[in-house]
Amino acid sequence: MNLQGQTNLPKPAPRQFDPQVLAQEIVERLTYRIGKNAQAAKPHDWLHAVILSIRDRVIDRWITSTQKTYEEEGRRVYYLSLEFLIGRLMRDAASNMEMLDDMQAALASLGVDIDLIAELEPDAALGNGGLGRLAACLMESMATVDVPAYGYGIRYVNGMFRQEISDGWQVELPETWLAHGNPWEFERREASYEIGFGGRVDPAEGDSASPHQMQWRPAERVIATPYDTPIAGWRGKRVNTLRLWTAQPIDPILLDRFNAGDHLGALAESNRAEALARVLYPADSSPAGQELRLRQEYFFSSASLQDIVRRHLQYFGDITTLPDKAAIQLNDTHPAVAVAELVRLLLDDHGLDFDEAWDITRRTFSYTNHTLLPEALESWPVPLFERLLPRHMQIVYAINSRLLAEARRSGVLDDQGIGTISLIDEGGERRVRMGNLAFAGSHSINGVSALHTDLMKVTVFADLHKLYPARINNKTNGVTYRRWLMQCNPGLTGLIREAIGDGFMDDPEALRDLDRFAADSAFQDKFLAVKRANKGALSTLLRQRINARIDPGALFDIQIKRIHEYKRQLLNLIETVSLYDQIRSHPEKDWVPRVKLFGGKAAPSYHNAKLIIKLAGDVARTINHDPAVQGLLKVQFVPNYNVSMAEVMIPAADLSEQISTAGMEASGTGNMKFAVNGALTIGTLDGANVEMRDHVGEDNIVIFGLTAQQVNDRRAAGYAPRDVIDQSKELTQALNAIASGVFSPDDPDRYKGLIDGIWTNDWFMVAADFDSYSAAQRRVDALWKDQAIWAQKAIHNVARMGWFSSDRTIREYAADIWKIA
């Protein structure tokens, strides 16, 4: 091998996608990797063999990409996230490697239906909702636009729980996605690290030790071992790495204790370590202040930082150039302790002085905020933080004293302002504010939609923004159109290709060309036929899964997302009840047949969210059994909504419900997926809906309700829901029906408290927006009656949504935050 050895390495054989060759490969994997022949193979074995065949192609590119990254010596991106909601990978990888059609043909020649085996792949649900799915879309887009990136997270044994509905109530069951093994991952034992907890801090020994240098002696240590999953970009251009950590005890069994007869004690350490990667916290907006959660946050942050620093030193040898070679993006505050961890590594392990350590840290980190809800802002009690991370507590204090001194010197903040930017909340029980730590430790802080970013500047980060006015910037979310159009909606994709060619597959903004077909009645007919077929497929699936009977000829009106009061599933249900009431009162009117579908999980401890699920079931049962509205209105709650279910429901939607209280949904990303699949949106001017309206045009979206400003003003002026309710006969009737037990005869008071909340407080402005929402729904009905107009608007949506591709989002991060060419 010569000095440039790599360039002389044998090149992997060119990829061949001949279905016959593929069929041979699959059978070969089946035989030699799984140990079965085609006759004995079960569907699971076929799936495994198919994944191995795809994986081998991915690996060729993975190795080339890694090599290219090393050779280019450019900056790498590290995306730190406690959640990656990836879903299934088989179709994604095969499609991105451009072998999906050939794979289908190969399998067909072996007598295997690709759709049937694809169904068997578990849905990797290592995330709660939007934030986790965004991380997955961004990973795929980074590979697609050729950004060298690593995702870092936790390999939870149990991801998001499986939701069952029992007697109408949500029941949470563990999801065991790893039960049959995971052919996508590679264990990398050689890249293991020790992670400490607790213990004490001593001054560093030796004459050369700097004053800030300390020696942390943790009381407890665990090993973090990574598992790598390749993430292939579109056309296999680049394959990046998703590195997920698992935890192991240093001593699996304490043999001395075991031999002394303490059998449980001998395993205690092991259980404690394994708990770290056991389960994803299923709360998406009200942080559970549990010690285990903070331990998870530190565990994966420390492992990731040690890995990043080791890799940097191995290739560049000089820790001070870290910010030139590494950009670390914090996905919300969940990994914010990484800021203190990097400072610790620089001070204690590398002997830098504090100023230099702090400068390197700030130039390396950037932070994405995903919520303005005060109850979702993470903070940890100082005593807990100090007990678990004594050295980091010192570092937080040191950062804080600099931050506050700088603020005083600047003169832009008064004492109250200084109090709000402090890393320590001194009101009551003292707490470490993770949002302020992430902000202080970053050179860039971004929101996820234009509105959300504007609101960040005047709410949560108003004072930090005064002090550092250049740091906050916007990066409107996007979604990957490979998964969310091309894979989940082959019918529409085929129709688009027929009309405008394949350009949009590499450049989603080329979807624009479709605009000129919007008024073309032949194209409209084909478009409506595709939608109808997708609705048929959903209807078949729901019949098989939950024995639901829904008519694909009706308008499919869908709200799928986590259940939360601010997302206002309750507004939708109250309007459904009101519509039910109106149909019964006026059966002679020309009602539009509607199917209303709901899906989503409630945080297990979120009482009202669980009650809303129960209400959806109660309303559904009553309406679906009433012959008076038969064929006109149907309601269904779809259990266990997840990525795979979204991939079937979204292409089948006519109407997308994006109805959060304005100012409360940071962005939304489901809204984008629906629109690009040709659904019309009924929505408030919240999150990215605002920008969607700007792109698709106000005639092609149904907007209603108070604006964020109006919500704010109403609250400030002392909003009295009672006055609003008294003005609306329909709302009064619907609320009374629900509160009096019309839908819950078995327990008439079940919804009394929930509905009382609307009468007395109505923080989420359900009553204030009701009439406007109801009127908007009747505008939707009117549009539906003219299918040509409906199709025209829907086609404009598909054509004009290209900007919401996560490729665009990633290009903006790369240019503005990571400074990658």
Contact residues toward ligand 26Q (CB under 6 A) are: 128-131, 134, 281, 283-285, 287-288, 293, 334, 370-371, 376, 378, 448, 477, 665-669, 687
Cα angle for residues 199, 205, 209 (degrees, 5° grid): 115
* Residue 625 annotated as catalytic: no
Catalytic residue among 561, 568, 634, 793, which? 561
Compute the distance between CA of residue 111 and CA of residue 397 in angstroms, rounded to an integer: 65
Q: Which residue has the tokens 């192991």?
A: 248
Q: Which tokens sit at 364?
A: 């390396």
* Smallest separation, CB 17 to ligand 26Q (Å): 35
Which among 567, 568, 634, 796 is annotated as catalytic? Answer: 567
- Residue 773 CB, shortest distance to ligand 26Q, in Å, is 19
288 vs 313 by CB, closer to ligand 26Q: 288
Q: Which is nearer to ligand 26Q, 649 or 791 (CB)?
A: 649
Backbone angles phi, psi at 461, to 5 degrees: -115, 25
For residue 673, indicate whether it is catalytic: yes
Q: Decide whether 270 or 368 has the Cβ nearer to ligand 26Q.
A: 368
- The span from the CA of 655 to the CA of 638, in Å, is 16
Q: Say which of 568, 614, 673, 793 is annotated catalytic.
A: 673
| Tokens 């002679």, located at residue | 588
85: which residues sit within 8 A by CB, 6+ positions away?
Answer: 124, 125, 126, 127, 128, 129, 132, 133, 135, 136, 160, 643
CA angle 123, 689, 554 (to 5 degrees): 65
Q: Considering 241, 669, 681, 684, which one is annotated as catalytic?
A: 669
Minimum distance of ligand 26Q from residue 477's CB (angstroms): 5
Closest separation in Å from C-beta 126 to ligand 26Q: 12
- What distance in Å separates the CA atoms of residue 648 and residue 640, rounded to the nearest whole number? 13
Question: Which of residues 230 and 435 has its CB atom nearest to ligand 26Q in the complex?
Answer: 435
Strand pairing class (655-658; 680-683)? parallel
* Own/partner long-range contacts of 39-48 (Cβ < 8 Å, ≥24 apart): 43/112, 43/116, 43/117, 43/120, 44/117, 44/120, 44/180, 46/107, 46/110, 46/112, 46/117, 47/90, 47/117, 47/118, 47/120, 47/121, 48/183
Shorter beta-carbon distance to ligand 26Q: residue 357 or 664: 664
Q: Catalytic: which of 562, 564, 594, 610?
A: 562
Question: What is the closest distance, in whole angstroms, from the C-beta atom of residue 807 to ligand 26Q in the complex?
Answer: 16
Q: Which helix (H) or strand (E) holds 104?
A: helix 100-109
| Shorter beta-carbon distance to ligand 26Q: residue 249 or 435 | 435
**Min. distance of Cβ 435 from ligand 26Q in angstroms?**
11
Least distance (Å) from ligand 26Q to the CB of residue 229? 21
Shortest separation between residue 689's beta carbon and ligand 26Q, angstroms = 10
Q: Distance of alpha carbon 759 from its chain centroid, rounded?
A: 33
Catalytic residue list contains 567:
yes
* Complex with ligand 26Q: residue 371 or 524, whichever CB lies closer: 371
What is the C-alpha to C-alpha distance for residues 157 and 273, in angstroms, rounded to an integer? Answer: 13
Q: Which of 430, 418, 437 is nearest to 301 (CA)?
A: 437
What is the identity of the amino acid at 260?
A
Residues 610, 616, 618: CA angle, nearest 5 degrees: 105
Buried/exposed 486-500: b ≥16 CB within 10 Å, e otherwise = bbbbebbbebbeebb
Residue 342 contacts residue 438 (beta carbons within 8 Å): no
The residue annotated as part of the active site, out of 29, 55, 91, 370, is 370
Residues ≥6 apart with Cβ < 8 Å to 429: 381, 382
Tell me whether residue 562 is one of the annotated catalytic residues: yes
370 classed as catalytic: yes
Pick from 624, 633, 641, 656: which is nearest to 547 by CA? 624
Strands 239-249 and 220-232 turn out to be antiparallel
CB of 283 to ligand 26Q, least distance (A): 4
Q: How many residues make up the chain in this entry?
A: 821
Closest contact distance (angstroms) between CB of 550 and ligand 26Q is 28
Q: Nearer Cβ to ligand 26Q, position 609 or 619?
A: 609
Beta bridge partners, 479, equal 805
Place of tokens 């908007």: 776
Is 669 designated active site? yes
Tell me which residues are annotated as active site.
370, 561-562, 567, 669, 673
